[in-house]
Amino acid sequence: MPLSSRHLLGLQGVPKEDINLILDTAKTFREVLERPIKRVPTLQGKTVINLFYESSTRTRISFELAEKRLSADAVNFSVSTSSVSKGETLKDTIRNIEAMKVDMVVVRHPAAGTPLFLTKVCDSNIINAGDGAHEHPTQALLDMYSIKEKLGKLEGVKVCMVGDIAHSRVALSNIFGLKAVGAEVSVCGPSTMIPKNIEELGVKVIYDIDEAIRENDVLNVLRIQLERKAREYFPSIREYAAFFGITEERLEKVGKEDILILHPGPINRGVELSSGVADGLKQIILTQVTNGVAVRMAVLYLLGTMN
């Protein structure tokens, strides 16, 4: 069965069958990444443009590698060296790029809704690589893949998103995706960073980090977005780290031996995670990054072969 949509704009409303299809397909591509020659001819002849209007290390490189490993032609667009700096609109930019015969567009943009807008003005498959504080679906899919790989299932697994829930596209996509496949989702953070009425999404709110550690199988710890004025939501970074930072001492105090720790990166070491935890045995942060390439290969393959 193909996916139910020819775009991946977010995980809100995406059926569990689509999510499972992506995760199952990613498993076959994960095996390709272990081969000496990490390339398959699946998307030969397809052209993908990576349209990044915001900084990125993991997502941009991961998409580019995924495209190259599927034998697609990958083209990177950088705002600073493009005619956007001369005032060209997004609509004109994408229509000119599309006139050069591209098939798929991967877009990251600070404005929520940009991927949806692109579906209205061009014909290519659109993949959201993060739009403002809205969604980051491939990050959530790679998080889910990594949890499933480690724990063997997603249904019934207790996952807590920790930190700045209100401004996090990673949190929202994880909530939608995890709920769709039957995981139990909670959120934990300062009350100023928990959106009002978030319980309506079917998540539990926990304000005490020790309780979050004790009650969950997985903590997905979010980055405090210092560039997005996160400091205004708590008195000081030191206080945030004292109340919500995950440290070896805190994990030992709570006595939860088998907690699994994820972080989408980039990490503020000493804030969300101590270095001991960020490099320790309970975390799978670099495994998430590796799995991200396979998950993005799966998304590109499933969308790219629908046309």
Retrieve residue 69's tokens. 């490993």
Type of residue found at 214 = R
Selected binder of ligand CP within 5, 20, 47, 56 (CB under 6 A): 56
Residue 57 is a binding residue for ligand CP (CB under 6 A): yes
Shortest CB 159 distance to ligand CP, Å = 17
Selected binder of ligand CP within 16, 27, 38, 58 (CB under 6 A): 58
Query: Based on CB atoms, which residue is closest to ligand CP, 46 or 296?
Result: 296
Name the residue among 265, 290, 275, 282 with its Cα closest to residue 216: 282
Interface characters, 207-226, with ligand CP (x: CB under 6 A): --------------------
Name the residue among 62, 289, 23 with its Cα closest to residue 144: 23
The length of the chain in residues reads 307
Type of residue found at 135 = E
Shortest CB 223 distance to ligand CP, Å = 8
Residue 10 is a binding residue for ligand CP (CB under 6 A): no
Residues 71-130 that bind ligand CP (CB under 6 A): 130
Spatial separation of the C-alpha atoms in residues 53 and 64, rounded to whole Å:
15
Residue found under tokens 């877009």: 107
Spatial separation of the C-alpha atoms in residues 303 and 307, rounded to whole Å:
8
Query: Based on CB atoms, which residue is closest to ligand CP, 128 or 256?
Result: 128
Name the residue among 305, 264, 256, 259 with its Cα closest to residue 288: 264
Shortest CB 9 distance to ligand CP, Å = 16
User: Tell me, what DSSP letter sits at residue 168?
Assistant: -
Residue 138 is a binding residue for ligand CP (CB under 6 A): no
Shortest CB 173 distance to ligand CP, Å = 11
Retrieve residue 76's tokens. 């990177």
152 contacts: CB under 8 Å, gap ≥ 6:
none
Contact 27, 294 (CB under 8 A): yes
Query: Based on CB atoms, which residue is closest to ligand CP, 143 or 217?
Result: 143
Q: Which stretch binds ligand CP (CB under 6 A): 50-58, 78-86, 95-103, 277-285?
A: 50-58
Interface characters, 255-274, with ligand CP (x: CB under 6 A): ---------xxx--------
Residue 4 is a binding residue for ligand CP (CB under 6 A): no
Point out which residues bind ligand CP (CB under 6 A): 56-59, 130, 139, 264-266
